[in-house]
Amino acid sequence: MRLLIIGGGPGGYVCGIRAGQLGIDTVVVEQAKAGGTCLNVGCIPSKALIHAADEFHKLSGYDGRSALGITAASPSIDLSRTIAWKDGIVARLTGGVQGLLKKAGARLITGQAEFLDGKTVQVTTDAAVLRIVAENVIIATGSEPVELPFLPFGGKVISSTEALALDAVPERLVVVGGGYIGLEIGTAFAKLGAAVTIVEATSKILPQYDSALTRPVMASLEALGIKLMLDTKAKAASDTGLMVETADGEIIDLPAERILVTVGRRPRSQGAGIPGLSLDMDGHFIRIDENCRTSMRGVFAIGDVTGEPMLAHRAMAQGELVAEFLSGKKRVWDKICIPAVCFTDPEIVTCGLSPDEAKSAGIETTTGQFPFTANGRAMSMEAENGFVRVVARKDNGLILGLQGVGEGISELAAAFAIAIEMSARLEDITAIIHAHPTLGEALHEACLKALGHSLHI
């Protein structure tokens, strides 16, 4: 066999589809369902829950006080039906992945893979134990939630996987971890009616983002009644909830029906016989080169198992790259930027360098920021809380980074990435006619501001 892919998540299945299209004899082994974590218990179901929560929350606010003049009487939600709807979306997408693999000529096997050596993998299925020898093997085993030793998963202590399968809204939910997963799910349940408390051990939420981007999110958390406890450490589950220690040393018992632990994810690099290959490692991540090759000939690795950023679209791009590389095409990983989206309320998008990152790199920059309070489309959507910011070289206007926060701003991620990957300058963006009225006009205006001649502020 030419190619064996271990893991059928975004990286693995995209690699399998592209390899099949290129005529490479390919088998994909997935231990659970096609689509991996992202499609089954991560990206897709979480966004479905967020959408349902947003719709319910908006309806709940239309009680006669709405400036729009809309009145709705006592809305309610049956979370079990919501979850069934979410599961239907997942089923459609997993079925689609299976169909695309089959159409491309790649074979999908459901089973547990175990390396016997760098070329031989044993696959245990429900029906048989298979031994597959492949010329090339790709490790695409993904990642899993980090479990705290003093808060093991089970009972009322849950990970994001269990949170996305609850059939009833908990009356009180404590979220351990103020990163994007905890805030996304915590915000959704607050909108569904839960009393939510977020416990974060550090002094700020979303530590990867600067305060200008997180400030609107903080305001939204407060407006939703979410209690935010910073510099607070989770200690242990109690009979009634979660014991925590505040910054001043006070021990508090937070009441909770559910405790959602979202303190990060770790690569699945310790199973499937991977340690026996003695690959070069970077901590728990597998070290790769510009072609996603590991230190062992014929063994590649893609996605979360290879390091940050642990994003589905990074894994997809790597999977496509490896398939084309194996087909003989000249492909190397030379991406300038990888966009990242945080689906909080409001959403956050980052792409390329932030002002602080550019400064740390010794680059003299100019920035431009345009608020959605001056954007007609945002006003008409009641979505004025946020802005778009551009970071460019001061000497020639080359765009180094784009960031934004606002309702629906995730849809600008592609425009941000295109501008940076195509090496656009400020004048390139301002020369493009942006449709009116749209949120995308904020990108145009931010670039105008950086050039010193903004029109609408």
Catalytic residues: 436
| Residue 244, Ramachandran bin (φ over 0: left; ψ between -120 and 50: alpha; else beta) | beta
Calculate the alpha carbon distances from 278 to 118, 119, 274, 452, 454 in Å: 10, 14, 8, 55, 57
3 state SS for the chain: CCEEEECCCHHHHHHHHHHHHCCCCEEEEECCCCCHHHHHHCHHHHHHHHHHHHHHHHHHHCECCCCCCCECCCCCCCHHHHHHHHHHHHHHHHHHHHHHHHHHCCEEEECEEEECCCCEEEEECCCCEEEEECCEEEECCCEEECCECCECCECCEECHHHHCCCCCCCCEEEEECCCHHHHHHHHHHHHCCCEEEEECCCCCCCCCCCHHHHHHHHHHHHHCCCEEECCCEEEEECCCEEEEECCCCCEEEEECCEEEECCCEEECCCCCCHHHHCCCEECCEECCCCCCECCCCCEEECHHHHCCCCCHHHHHHHHHHHHHHHCCCCCCCCCCCCCEEECCCCEEEEEECCHHHHHHCCCCEEEEEEEHHHCHHHHHCCCCCCEEEEEEECCCCEEEEEEEEECCHHHHHHHHHHHHHCCCEHHHHHCCCCCCCCCCHHHHHHHHHHHCCCCCC
